[in-house]
Amino acid sequence: MTAHYVPENLPEHIRHYIGGAPADSVSGETFEVLDPVTNKPYMTASAGKAEDIDLAVAAAKEAFDHGPWPKMLPRQRARILNKIADLVESRDKQLAELETFDTGLPIKQALGQAQRAAENFRFFADLIVAQADDTYKVPGKQVNYVNRKPVGVAGLITPWNTPFMLESWKLAPALASGCTVVLKPAEFTPLSASLWADIFREAGVPDGVFNLVNGLGEEAGDALVKHPDVRLISFTGETTTGETIFRNCAPGLKGMSMELGGKSPAVVFADADFEAALDSTLFGVFSLNGERCTAGSRILVERSIYDEFCTRYAERARNIVVGDPHDPATEVGALVHPEHFDKVMSYIEIGKTEGKLLAGGGRPEGLDTGNYVAPTVFADVKPDARIFQEEIFGPVVAITPFDTDEEALELANNVKYGLAAYVWTADLTRAHNFAQNIDVGMVWLNSHNVRDLRTPFGGVKASGLGHEGGYRSIDFYTEQQAVHITLGDVHTARFGAGKDKA
């Protein structure tokens, strides 16, 4: 293995960003951030607690109540959002290098995430300029219209997989809508989030509109969720954490949008384009190191092609290039953190008792340090197996046969999650009927996860609450106030008028 690449000018310490200026924690506390290839600390970050969240929320509330941002015309905000996109695009290689170093994602995939982050800002810049709200007319009597207003201070809590891009999914619509924000990035991967402050300042975002507090979820994240001046919470992360956030939002009746875990099925029928389905299902679980909520980590294959599919799939999985994330040839890099590595490896050991191991099953040969896991394939997995039911969030897949459409649908729905599904078949009628009966928020037919930013993104069951994407994001970050105007005489019963009442 070649020497591990370390980007130039890595910071030794990153701070919060509050009210337009960098800030240390009030307590002075910090935490270490690890490089996932060596598992050695390479920097420290300020450890935010409730008092730091108080300062950030106060800055955001001041900017919302008295600053220009919420009152700007949509075109004015759109110009700034486009400047943000320009800056992200101009720094995409630097962003990708830092993201790869911090997360362990392969460099080619990290570059794509930086470019997608820029596109998110462009999309919402266009959307707010084109935004039209409803008007209802009752001829000669009344006109009713919708007055859309930003909600206020938004709390954004983001995960450690593809952090920069997923932060942009929340920041872009929140800022486009006129909200001010407090971002709490994942403690495993805070590096790329620290770049937003300079980008926003250079683009012309007023002080206090964007605030960032690093820290642990149970400290900084918990304080953000419970803060009385935070009007809504957008969270992407693990399901049990989402349940805790749901409970903590209840006393303040906060708005919530939560995209949570997944155990998404990829259903391959015998009439499918075999090669395309093979390519897509491999990419769908092993790209991004398998650390993706929409990973097709359960592959359901029709019995008549099952043996051939398993053989070919395992051959390809064994040939996947695992190595240093900065090597352009790498297809699977290092998992994000040793804690997560241990979790994934524990599931692999469980899988060895629940299915037939066809590929992987441990560390790749020659990679004795770092959080490397060989792409792992289990076949003949029963639907009650833990590796069939539980989210692993790593390069591990379970393959299960089915005989009928009805059995395939039952297997697809037989988990607590309901985020995404992938269906491969040449039968158009079957494809639509099957898709519409899967209990998930999103379905891709004869495709892997290709996002259209106009469509709703989110899950059902244990995979989330609410949807974002397109106008649904604008709806989440704004309040829709109904305004009624009378055009003629108002005929009202005259209570208390006695004999004179009409």
Q: Strand 210-212 and strand 180-184: pairing?
A: parallel
- Tell me which residue has tokens 């037989």: 414
Please give the angle made by the CA atoms of 300, 301 and 306, to the nearest 5 degrees.
Answer: 140
SS3 385: coil
Please give the angle made by the CA atoms of 171, 155 and 87, to the nearest 5 degrees.
Answer: 20
Residue closest to 55 by CA, chosen among 227, 219, 201, 231: 227
Tokens (6 digits) for 100: 């790869």
Do 464 and 458 contact (CB within 8 A), yes or no?
yes
Residue closest to 177 by CA, chosen among 133, 207, 213, 135: 133
If one counts every other C-beta atom within 10 angstroms of the C-beta of residue 68, the result is 11
For the chain, how big is the Rg over CA atoms in Å? 25
- Which DSSP state fits 260? -
Name the E strands within 304-419: 356-359, 376-379, 396-402, 417-418
What are the residues whose beta carbons fall under 8 Å from the beta carbon of 49, sequence distance 6 or more? Answer: 25, 26, 27, 29, 215, 219, 220, 223
SS3 199: helix
Greatest distance between any 2 Cα atoms in the chain: 98
- Tell me which residue has tokens 């709806």: 475
CA distance 400 to 7: 42
CA distance 16 to 350: 40
Torsion, Cα of 399, 109, 329, 337 (10° steps): -70
Residue closest to 179 by CA, chosen among 481, 477, 501: 477
Alpha helices in 256-302 (DSSP H): 274-286
What are the residues whose beta carbons fall under 8 Å from the beta carbon of 170, sequence distance 6 or more? Answer: 154, 156, 158, 181, 183, 234, 236, 468
Report the catalytic residues.
259, 293
Which phi and psi angles does 128 have, rounded to 5°? -70, -25
CA distance 295 to 442: 12
Which phi and psi angles does 266 have, rounded to 5°? -115, 115
- Which DSSP state fits 218? I
User: Cα 70 from chain centroid?
Assistant: 25
Do 187 and 158 contact (CB within 8 A), yes or no?
no
